[in-house]
Amino acid sequence: MKILVYFADDLNKPTGSRIRCINLANSLAKYHDVYLAAPSIMNINGVKYKFVKIGRKYGMGKFLKYFNFFNTLRVVREVKPDLIYSFLDVSLPSMLIPAKLFKIPHFVELHGLTVEEFSVKYNYYSKNGIIYIFLESIFKWMIRRTDYQLVGCLPLKNYYGGTLKNFTIMPPSINTNLFNSSVKPNKYIEKIKKNINKIVVTYAGNFSYYQGTDLLIEIIKKLKDRNIDDFIFVIIGTTNEAFNKKIEEYHLKSEVIFIGLVPNNKVSSYLRASDVLLIPRLNIKTTQYAFPLKPLEYLSVGRCVIATKGWPHDELVQHMKYGLLADPNPEDFVEKLLLAKNKNLRHKLGMNAANMIKDKYSIDADIENLNSIFEKFN
């Protein structure tokens, strides 16, 4: 089967949705003739790539670039796919018309609420205003007109309700060949641990507001204020100006090691070299309907995870079973870090989690399920 996977944004940005899309296309290519179309340049083994031109990247163009059906129409004409797989609802304004025009079965994979993210990211409209309600209705209207919906989690399914007609709840999954408890630890981090004899606590990810990086800084500061000197923090990712400014303001440079951006296929070695992995993600509307990749990747490598209470951490981490859960404040995170000083506890929780992820969240199982659904539309 010839499948066209479409992603409406830059695939080079290190976010969970983009990583999921690339992993999906790569895994599908083992069984199908897969084309990946997006407004960025990529090179993925086994996947043919189609560049989709977009308009202005500034002002209202940042929003209107998602209504890009003239360029996606060209790509669909060239590829002539048997099935179109739109990744996220934000891809639908560009791909719905070509799919309908050429009568091609159209799937959409849904994670989170784009209209909510737009309201925060672009600040064009009030969350409770008429424009918000209008855009929310438009997205639901487009979702109803796809042929099949893959929904990332139960809360999102409940939110859409009757909007979904043919659907399967399919949480994200990871490539367990890349993320597992047998990956060799990063030598640089291992050397640091040996030299300073401290517990390495790592955060890896982007610095969007909902990731809780402000809370991360407050946790580091609280440890310093209490003269607790047992931990060193490793930060993986491209930090923003606000984060760097606070680190300087609180005089925390000696407590933090900045690694910078690391390719997703290399991240697991840094996680394996760590002792504790932190997820200070905020429990707000933007995150309540999304099932992120980060906890799956963290839990898969056999290290102790400490995460904020709330969805989906309550279900995944299950306090004292696969990791530790903390209230969203620095005081409770510090208490959980002190609990995680117990090496035997860290090992037990980490191995429990790694086995659970391998059994339940491997992308290979997702591909099997998708192939069985695709057969109905072939």
At 58-74, the pLDDT tens digits run: 444 455 667 788 889 99
Q: How confident is the model at residue 122 (pLDDT cuts 50, 70, 90)?
A: low
- Identify which of 93, 109, 278 has the alpha carbon closest to the alpha carbon of residue 203: 278
2-173+362-377 and 187-360, same CATH topology: yes
Q: State pLDDT tens for residues 244-258.
A: 999 999 999 999 999
Cross-strand bridge partners of residue 110: 151
For the sheet with 231-236, list strands across it: 256-260, 231-236, 199-204, 276-279, 304-308, 324-326
Rounded distance, CA 202 to CA 236, Å? 8
> Tell me: the pLDDT tens digits for 150-162?
999 999 999 999 8
Strand-pair partners of 5: 36, 85
Nearest to 167 by CA among 184, 149, 146: 149
Please report, for the chain, the start and end positions of each structural domain, with discontinuous segments joined by +.
2-173+362-377, 187-360
Report the run of H or E that residue 22 belongs to, with start and end: helix 16-28
- Which one-letter DSSP state was computed for residue 162? G
Which CATH superfamily hosts domain 187-360? Glycogen Phosphorylase B; (3.40.50.2000)
**Arch. (CATH architecture) of 2-173+362-377:** 3-Layer(aba) Sandwich (3.40)
* pLDDT tens, position by position, 66-97: 778 888 999 999 999 999 999 999 899 999 99
Q: What is the mean pLDDT of the chain?
A: 89
| pTM for the structure as a whole | 0.89
206: left (phi over 0), alpha (psi -120 to 50) or beta: beta
CA dihedral of residues 192, 196, 201, 205 (deg, nearest 10): -30
The secondary structure element, H or E, covering residue 2 is strand 2-7
- Pair 303, 295: CB distance under 8 Å: no
